[in-house]
Amino acid sequence: MLPEDACILEMQIQDYEEVYELWCKTPGMGLSDADKKENIEKFLTRNKGLSYICKIKDRIIGTILCGHDGRRGYVYHVTVAKEYRGKGIGKGLVEKSLERLKAEGIHKCHLFVFADNVTGNAFWASTGW
């Protein structure tokens, strides 16, 4: 269950700077040229309604980047600010994106997490992935 003051919103390109800053602060997060603003804008346009942020007050404290190729879903860059971990935010973001994938007829999803990302792998194990 999300904290009472948290809200999940569709990610918009206007969120990019704050989202990217959170990604940069997250150990184990692999970033590349594909994560430049213009590429994320294309991704969000192509995959409308699948990527989300979690906000508390006016601060972005969680993200999920999600898309599909028409057959399979793909999840990238699930992160929650360190001080908010363990409060159901990551799980809430994942559930929202998976729900939207299912609404689009996508029932199988792949996720990307580096083998040495201890925190990320622990999160995914806790969700049953």
The pLDDT, as a whole number, for residue 3 is 85
| CATH 3.60.15.10 for the 6-126 domain, yes or no | no
Low-confidence residues in the chain, pLDDT < 50 = none
Q: Where are the alpha helices (DSSP H) in the chain?
A: 16-24, 37-46, 89-103, 118-126
User: What's the Rg (C-alpha) of the chain?
Assistant: 14
> What is d(CA 115, CA 27) in angstroms, rounded to the nearest whole number?
13
What are the pLDDT digits (tens) for 18-50?
Answer: 999 999 999 999 999 999 999 999 999 999 999
The pLDDT, as a whole number, for residue 124 is 85
The pLDDT, as a whole number, for residue 112 is 86
